């Protein structure tokens, strides 16, 4: 009775050390202050809830009684995350082993110990910082083969004491220890095997031996999993929306609007909480909370065949459940699965935010899209580039983009002086150029007449040519097709050539004036107006560092290189003639754009 009172008083007056005291205690341990003292190690097994030895209070009482009887001095040290007053308490089953091992070049073998306090203890014992350690019995020290090997090796260096057993240094003592270790491991394996067989049997009978999914109530009975009256209708509607083509993010947003939350669950303990002393009368209280769903949790729900009344068996097959009813029909469930297999954009956008340049800007190095987002009222663009991408400019704001586009747009605008210079230089040779065009058109006409004569000859003399063996049927068809293609090509070339220099110049000048008007409007344009201008001028935009790369639309690409002013304007104008149709089309479109910009500015 007296020893029990001493134990209780000791437990009630435990001191929680500060971080500074921890450092000082560690120095004392390393300096050998406790080399003549013992520590007590207690472990609580989660797989033995009804075993009295599982109680930490019981283990402390018995181990302190044993230390008092054997006159073993207990180290008076307290260290946060390790022990209090020389007593180490840990909550862990001790049965699970880490399967990963490492082999060193020096012949060493490494594996992970899953008990953090036990791991710290064996390190101190290996360096003989303590004289020994007291366990209640062998299975409190170890219940797997790897930890057993460590305990046996430590017995050769330090004094290991067991309250319920005594192992002497003889061969009989070693045999006694081996037998206890064998029975301890056997007990753990039998317990685990019974659990696995029971679970397998319950599943085969259609009984759910675990918590039911979202939309069902867990009342503590495996045989009865009724519908959750609050969550079940929402989950059912989720399947229907998925079958209609909604994406996971949209379904998650919709469910949150309906007030849907995941069932209450406690968060995981932090590392510091796990290392706190596991007292029977001091429990860490973590209140369960209801978390909001996201795309991942919605995906897990919609892929679970639990909702069509099936249970997953141990062999990977499914069986019909007798403890819960289907929430959705198989038709709806498999329609949702089929929709998930398709790579498509959701047919429904619950809250599609209109951002300018969405899907228009890419990284010039890895071709990843820049995604628009707003922060503190400012428009930004970010790209999740590949790991090998050398472009460091992965985030920029709208003004940065607008300035780069403005610089490129300015290159398409010619000043009055530049236009006059081009015209004066080109005007001197316009007559000769137009004469050259006339000669080219006449040559094309002559060639076209010759091709037409060949085609007419083939048509009139088809039978004679085939009978005489001049052509086979296949060769005749091939020759006819060749002549027709050449005739069509000559016609197109004649149309593009039958344009005077003056006409090309007038159309180019008109487009230049429209580009100048757009540039003047661009300087004061809002984000939506800037996007409208860019969409009608460029087909691609890409960013690399601080450089903007563009691909102009047809007609505008004739203005992309403006350095012709210092070169040969006559040559440039002759090349622009090939863009005549595109320039006319782009001119009409830009007039419409300017009209829209004026209307939006007035509004």
Do strands 159-162 and 132-135 pair parallel, antiparallel, or not at all (unpaired)?
parallel
3-state helix, strand, coil in the chain (%, to 5): 50, 10, 35
Please write the tens of the pLDDT for every residue from 300-351. 999 888 899 888 887 878 888 888 889 999 899 988 888 877 755 555 555 5
Report how far residue 173's alpha carbon sits from residue 170's, in angstroms, rounded to the nearest whole number: 5
Could you tell me which of 532, 530, 574 has the C-alpha nearest to residue 426?
574
Task: Write down the residue that tokens 């305990």 correspond to.
Answer: 151
Residue 425 lies in a domain: no
Residue 75 lies in a domain: yes
The secondary structure of residue 569, as a DSSP letter, is: H
Q: Are residue 592 and residue 550 in the same domain, yes or no?
A: yes
Q: Which residues have CB under 8 Å from 575's CB, separation 6+? A: 558
Angle between helices 248-257 and 295-302 (to 10 degrees): 100
Residue 427 lies in a domain: no
Residue 588 lies in a domain: yes
- Mean residue pLDDT across the chain: 76
Please write the tens of the pLDDT for every residue from 444-494. 666 667 767 777 777 777 777 767 777 677 776 677 777 677 666 656 555
Q: Are residue 66 and residue 178 in the same domain, yes or no?
A: yes
Q: Are residue 329 and residue 372 in the same domain, yes or no?
A: no
Write down the pLDDT at residue 237.
92
Could you tell me which of 412, 403, 383, 353 has the C-alpha nearest to residue 523?
403
Write down the pLDDT at residue 73.
92
On the question of pLDDT at 3 being above 50, the answer is: no
Q: Are residue 153 and residue 256 in the same domain, yes or no?
A: no
Q: Are residue 365 and residue 316 in the same domain, yes or no?
A: no
What number is the average pLDDT over the span 393-411?
Answer: 86
Domain boundary (312, 341, 370) is at 341
On the question of pLDDT at 573 being above 60, the answer is: no
Confidence band for 421, pLDDT divided at 50, 70 and 90: low
User: What percentage of the chain carries pLDDT values higher than 90?
Assistant: 6
| Cβ atoms of 407 and 550 closer than 8 Å | no
Cα dihedral angle (462, 465, 470, 472), rounded to 10 degrees?
50
CATH number assigned to the domain comprising residue 102: 3.40.50.1390
Q: Are residue 300 and residue 394 in the same domain, yes or no?
A: no
Task: Write down the residue that tokens 């007419």 correspond to.
Answer: 456
Confidence band for 236, pLDDT divided at 50, 70 and 90: very high
Structure tokens at 71: 């006159």
More confident residue, 161 or 429: 161
More confident residue, 461 or 76: 76
Write down the pLDDT at residue 201.
85
Structure tokens at 583: 């320039």
How many domains does the structure of the chain reveal? 3
Residue 139 lies in a domain: yes
DSSP letter for each residue of 43-58: EE-TT-TT-GGG-HHH
Confidence band for 109, pLDDT divided at 50, 70 and 90: low
Q: Are residue 143 and residue 251 in the same domain, yes or no?
A: no
Which stretch of 45-49, 455-459, 525-529, 536-540 has the lowest confidence by average pLDDT? 45-49
Report how far residue 199's alpha carbon sits from residue 571's, in angstroms, rounded to the nearest whole number: 85
Task: Write down the residue that tokens 């505008």 correspond to.
Answer: 556
Which stretch of 113-122, 518-527, 563-572 has the lowest confidence by average pLDDT? 563-572
On the question of pLDDT at 498 being above 80, the answer is: no
Report how far residue 115's alpha carbon sits from residue 93's, in angstroms, rounded to the nearest whole number: 9
What number is the average pLDDT over the span 61-88?
Answer: 87
Neighbouring CB atoms inside 10 A of 518's CB total: 21
On the question of pLDDT at 235 being above 50, the answer is: yes
What number is the average pLDDT over the span 266-279?
Answer: 62
Residue 241 lies in a domain: yes
Cα dihedral angle (17, 18, 22, 28), rounded to 10 degrees?
-70
H helices present in 362-472, as ranges: 398-410, 416-427, 430-460, 462-467
More confident residue, 187 or 200: 200
Write down the pLDDT at residue 565.
41
Write down the pLDDT at residue 280.
42
Write down the pLDDT at residue 156.
81
Q: Are residue 30 and residue 162 in the same domain, yes or no?
A: yes
Residue 591 lies in a domain: yes
Gyration radius of the chain's alpha carbons? 42
Structure tokens at 240: 């229907």
Q: Are residue 336 and residue 379 in the same domain, yes or no?
A: no
Domain that holds residue 594: 361-414+503-602
Which stretch of 106-120, 130-144, 582-596 has the lowest confidence by average pLDDT? 106-120
Write down the pLDDT at residue 499.
52
On the question of pLDDT at 234 being above 90, the answer is: yes
What number is the average pLDDT over the span 190-219?
Answer: 84
Write down the pLDDT at residue 371.
87
Q: Are residue 331 and residue 239 in the same domain, yes or no?
A: yes
Residue 473 lies in a domain: no
Q: Are residue 557 and residue 508 in the same domain, yes or no?
A: yes
């Amino acid at each position: 009775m007296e020893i029990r009172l001493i134990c209780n008083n000791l437990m009630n007056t435990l001191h929680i050390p500060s971080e500074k005291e921890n450092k000082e205690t560690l120095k004392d341990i390393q300096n050998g202050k406790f080399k003549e003292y013992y520590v007590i190690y207690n472990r609580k097994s989660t797989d033995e809830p009804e075993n009295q030895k599982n109680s930490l209070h019981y283990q402390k009482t018995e181990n302190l009684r044993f230390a008092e009887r054997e006159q073993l001095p207990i180290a008076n040290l307290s260290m946060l995350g390790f022990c209090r007053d020389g007593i180490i308490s840990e909550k862990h089953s001790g049965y699970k082993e880490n399967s990963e091992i490492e082999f060193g070049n020096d012949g060493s073998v490494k594996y992970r110990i899953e008990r953090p306090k036990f791991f710290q203890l064996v390190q101190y014992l290996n360096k003989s910082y303590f004289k020994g350690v007291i366990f209640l019995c062998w299975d409190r020290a170890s219940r797997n083969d790897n930890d057993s090997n460590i305990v046996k090796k430590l017995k050769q260096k330090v004094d290991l004491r067991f309250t319920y057993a005594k192992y002497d240094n003889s061969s009989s003592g070693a045999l006694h220890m081996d037998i206890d270790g064998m029975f301890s491991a056997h007990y753990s394996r039998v317990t685990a095997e019974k659990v696995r067989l029971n679970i397998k049997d319950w599943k085969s009978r259609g009984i759910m031996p675990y918590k039911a999914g979202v939309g069902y109530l867990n009342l503590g009975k495996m045989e009865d999993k009724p519908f959750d009256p609050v969550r079940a209708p929402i989950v059912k509607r989720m399947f229907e929306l998925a079958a209609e083509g909604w994406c996971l993010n949209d379904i998650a947003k919709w469910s949150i609007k309906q007030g849907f939350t995941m069932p209450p669950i406690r968060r995981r303990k932090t590392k510091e909480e796990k290392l706190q002393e596991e007292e029977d009368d001091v429990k860490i209280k973590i209140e369960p909370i209801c978390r909001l769903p996201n795309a991942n949790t919605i995906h897990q729900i919609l892929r679970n065949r639990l909702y069509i009344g099936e249970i997953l068996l141990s062999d990977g097959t499914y069986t019909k459940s007798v403890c819960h009813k289907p929430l959705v029909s198989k038709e709806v469930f498999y329609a949702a699965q089929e929709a998930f297999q398709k790579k498509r954009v959701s047919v429904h956008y619950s809250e599609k935010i209109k951002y300018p340049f969405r899907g228009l800007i890419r990284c010039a190095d890895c071709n990843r899209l820049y995604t628009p987002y707003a922060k503190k009222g400012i428009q930004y663009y970010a790209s999740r580039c590949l790991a090998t991408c050398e472009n460091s400019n992965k985030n920029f704001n709208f003004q940065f983009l607008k300035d780069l586009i403005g610089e490129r747009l300015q290159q398409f605008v010619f000043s009055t002086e530049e236009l006059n210079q081009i015209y004066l230089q080109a005007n001197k040779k316009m007559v000769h150029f137009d004469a050259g065009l006339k000669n080219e058109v006449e040559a094309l006409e002559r060639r076209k007449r010759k091709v037409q004569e060949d085609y007419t000859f083939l048509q009139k003399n088809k039978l004679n040519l085939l009978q005489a063996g001049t052509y086979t049927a296949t060769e005749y068809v091939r020759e006819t097709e060749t002549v027709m293609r050449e005739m069509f090509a000559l016609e197109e070339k004649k149309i593009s050539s039958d344009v005077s220099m003056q006409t090309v110049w007038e159309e180019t000048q008109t487009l230049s004036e429209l580009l100048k008007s757009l540039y003047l409007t661009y300087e004061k344009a809002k984000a939506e107006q800037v996007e409208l201008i860019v969409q009608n001028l460029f087909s691609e935009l890409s960013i690399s560092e601080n450089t903007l790369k563009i691909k102009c639309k047809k007609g505008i690409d004739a203005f992309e290189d403006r350095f012709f002013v210092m070169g040969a304007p006559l040559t440039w104008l002759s090349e622009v003639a090939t863009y005549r149709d595109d320039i006319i089309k782009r001119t009409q479109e830009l007039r419409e754009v300017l009209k829209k910009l004026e209307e939006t500015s007035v509004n």
